Amino acid sequence: MKFLPAQFAYFVETAAMRRNLRILVRFVVALVVLIVGYSLLFHVIMEAEGQTHSWITGFYWTLTVMSTLGFGDITFQSDLGRVFSTIVLLSGVLFLLIVLPFTFIQFFYAPWLEAQTRRRVPRSLADSVRDHVLIASHDPVAITLVPRLEALGYDYYLLEPELSRALELEEEGLNVVLGSPEDIDTYRRVGVARASMLVANVDDAVNTNISFTARELECDVPIVSFARDPASVDVLELAGSTTVLQLADMLGRSLARRSLAGGQRVSVIGRFGELVVAEAPVAGTPFVGKSLGEGWLRQMTGLTAVGAWERGRFTAPGPETRLGPSTVLVLAGTQDQLTAFEEMTAIYRPTDAPVLILGGGRVGTSAALALEDRGLEYRIVEMDPNAVQIPERTTVGNAAELTVLQEAGVDQAPTIMVTTSSDATNIYLTIYCRRLRPDVQIVSRATLERNVSTLHRAGSDFVMSYASMGANAILNVLQGGDVVMIAEGLDVFRVPVPPGLRGVELRQSGIRGDTGCHVVAFQDGDQLETSPGPETRLPSGPDGELILVGTTYNEGRFMDHYNSARTRG
């Protein structure tokens, strides 16, 4: 008995559904009046022919003719009757076989089906849902962020205003809430005041609206907004954004740090208090051909090599790791130790030829300005004359043409940066440049994380994706800034020492074997121990912290294995 009232409630819950129901009722009433009218005329014409029938027979004849069944057991003898029969037949075809099904589907069945479907996607979250992450759009950043949130045990919900799109996302196994990210009622229904974070990842104008709308509820939820235009940063902050990320600028500067040009041998990529994580290429130094097992790095500088890059392939260092001309070491240590390494390698200066940047958009321009800050020369190749922002250092033309690249200095460039917004174009240019210069360093930009491996196979030494950069920046804010992305999916992060590992020697801890993470340092009170040896005991106090390097998957394994949680800032 509860089913019918529940179904009827679907048709009165919105003004549009109530309007559709009124239209359907009006049509049915008009159809009934037409059938009654035809039945009356049936009796009039039959009596004129001298035939007498009951009222039930009149309705029976009208419905059989209008529905085109026409059994033929009751017929007119006069031409007037036959003309009347033809009119009833044609009107029946029109109203019963065409208009009625269309009206029923359009104003009854389709709204009912939509209402049923809409019930599949939640419009609100229970009060018990807390500390969740709300994401305004399912963009490339969200595609990368969601698996990382799941690996770290965070609940998340995507806000989607379109029902069809929400259903698609739900079928992909994603958590979706039906609602516009620009509607204040949406934030009431999803419990924004109980959330850990709101991510505004649409465009600058919409992100401003999202921030302002969420703040109208007088909640203090952290809001991370993306800004494409530098001029939007102040507006987004005024609207209520806690953190504004300029991902294009961040990505450009990150790519520039990977350049081998100039005398700077060490590029700092993150800090944990006194611990500094940096990258250092060994090309052109006497270290080429040596293995880390010889112990020269720790003896000469005190640094620990926590990883090594070889043509886009990252490996955890071991005693057998031998350095090649394209190897880039990931080092961890103090600033003094890095300075000592840089002084040792400063004399091995590569060429001073300009770095070649393919693509003069926001990312390429940011990379150029970062190189300029380091005092390095560069040349930009941009195909669109209207997009040129630094004309005195830009060659206008198609980067796929050899003459254009030669004019820009491809034959002497120590590094080629591929920074266009199209992943397909970047793959094409990476393959082309690798064929032209097998020995050159190529640093590429990707928009989607799934294209990172393709760019590596195409010949890129380093690839940084817009999606991973954004996801990592969001996690940094969410978790108090205790994570540094070394490269795609590879992070340095800080966690409390699990109770079961307190006071245990590092070689007996089993951290690397059980989780795949590598301990690069630990904090014991005010003391930071960098480059711990196998015999070093982990902090025994409750305030001890480990600094680890590993992939997002390794990090999740650590959290699950030790039932741990990351330190919050």
| pLDDT tens figures, 207-254 | 999 999 999 988 899 999 999 998 999 999 999 999 999 999 989 988
For 23-34, write each residue's pLDDT tens digit: 778 888 888 999
Which residue among 66, 91, 118 closes a domain? Answer: 118
Strands (E) in 117-219, as ranges, are 133-135, 156-160, 176-178, 197-200
Contact 496, 503 (CB under 8 A): no
Q: Are residues 284 and 183 in the same domain?
A: no
Q: Quickly list DSSP for 18-76.
A: HHHHHHHHHHHHHHHHHHHHHHHHHHHHHHHTT----HHHHHHHHHHHHTT---SSS--
The answer to whether residue 125 sits within a structural domain is: no
Q: Are residues 113 and 13 in the same domain?
A: yes
Q: Are residues 327 and 362 in the same domain?
A: no
Q: Which pLDDT score, from 0 to 100, does residue 8 have? A: 53
**484: enclosing H helix or E strand:** strand 483-487
Task: Indicate the length of the chain as a whole number.
Answer: 569
Among 10-19, 35-44, 241-250, 317-326, whose mean pLDDT is lowest?
Answer: 10-19
Q: Are residues 297 and 216 in the same domain?
A: no
For 443, the domain range is 355-467
| Nearest CA among 92, 142, 225, 99 for reference residue 468 | 142
Q: Are residues 107 and 26 in the same domain?
A: yes
Cβ burial of 214 (10 Å; 0-12, 13-18, 19+) is buried
Which residue among 212, 245, 278 closes a domain? Answer: 245
For 46-60, write each residue's pLDDT tens digit: 988 888 889 899 889
Q: 123: helix, coil or strand?
A: coil
Q: Are residues 214 and 233 in the same domain?
A: yes
Mean pLDDT taken over the chain = 83
The answer to whether residue 48 sits within a structural domain is: yes
Contact 239, 211 (CB under 8 A): yes
Share of the chain above pLDDT 90, in %: 33
Q: Which pLDDT score, from 0 to 100, does residue 2 have? A: 44
Total domain count for the chain? 5
Q: What letter represents residue 534's amino acid?
A: P
Q: Which pLDDT score, from 0 to 100, does residue 445 have? A: 92
d(CA 306, CA 331): 6
Strand partners for 245:
226
The answer to whether residue 177 sits within a structural domain is: yes
Q: Report the relative pairing of strands 490-496 and 197-200 from DSSP bridges.
A: unpaired
Q: Which pLDDT score, from 0 to 100, does residue 566 have? A: 46
Considering only CA atoms, give the Rg of the chain. Answer: 35
Does residue 142 have a pLDDT over 90? Answer: yes
Domain of 101, CATH number, reads 1.10.287.70
Q: Are residues 340 and 362 in the same domain?
A: no
Q: Are residues 396 and 500 in the same domain?
A: no
Distances (CA, A) of 59 to 41, 44, 66, 302, 387: 11, 13, 11, 101, 75
d(CA 194, CA 75): 75
Q: Which pLDDT score, from 0 to 100, does residue 487 have? A: 56
Q: Which pLDDT score, from 0 to 100, does residue 568 have? A: 36
Distances (CA, A) of 225 to 63, 89, 247, 252: 64, 64, 10, 18
Q: Which pLDDT score, from 0 to 100, does residue 131 have? A: 92
The answer to whether residue 472 sits within a structural domain is: no
**Which positions ≥6 away from 72 have C-beta within 8 Å?**
none
The answer to whether residue 82 sits within a structural domain is: yes
Does residue 312 have a pLDDT over 80? Answer: no
Share of the chain above pLDDT 70, in %: 87
Tally of CB atoms within 10 A around 68: 11
Answer yes or no: pTM beyond 0.85.
no
CA 378 to chain centre: 31
Does residue 126 have a pLDDT over 70? Answer: yes
Q: Which pLDDT score, from 0 to 100, does residue 191 have? A: 93
Q: Are residues 59 and 160 in the same domain?
A: no
Which residue among 118, 147, 171 closes a domain? Answer: 118
Distances (CA, A) of 214 to 138, 186, 227, 421: 19, 9, 17, 31
Q: For residue 424, what pLDDT band results from cuts at 50, 70 and 90?
A: very high
d(CA 337, CA 300): 9
Q: Which pLDDT score, from 0 to 100, does residue 3 have? A: 45
Domain of 322, CATH number, reads 3.30.70.1450
d(CA 507, CA 381): 51
Q: For residue 492, what pLDDT band results from cuts at 50, 70 and 90?
A: confident
Q: Are residues 386 and 445 in the same domain?
A: yes
The answer to whether residue 476 sits within a structural domain is: no
Place of tokens 């009149």: 58
Q: Give the mean pLDDT of 504-522.
A: 84
Q: Are residues 241 and 139 in the same domain?
A: yes
The answer to whether residue 480 sits within a structural domain is: no
Q: Are residues 332 and 359 in the same domain?
A: no
d(CA 197, CA 372): 36
The answer to whether residue 18 sits within a structural domain is: yes
Does residue 482 have a pLDDT over 60? Answer: no
For 341-353, write each residue's pLDDT tens digit: 877 776 665 567 8
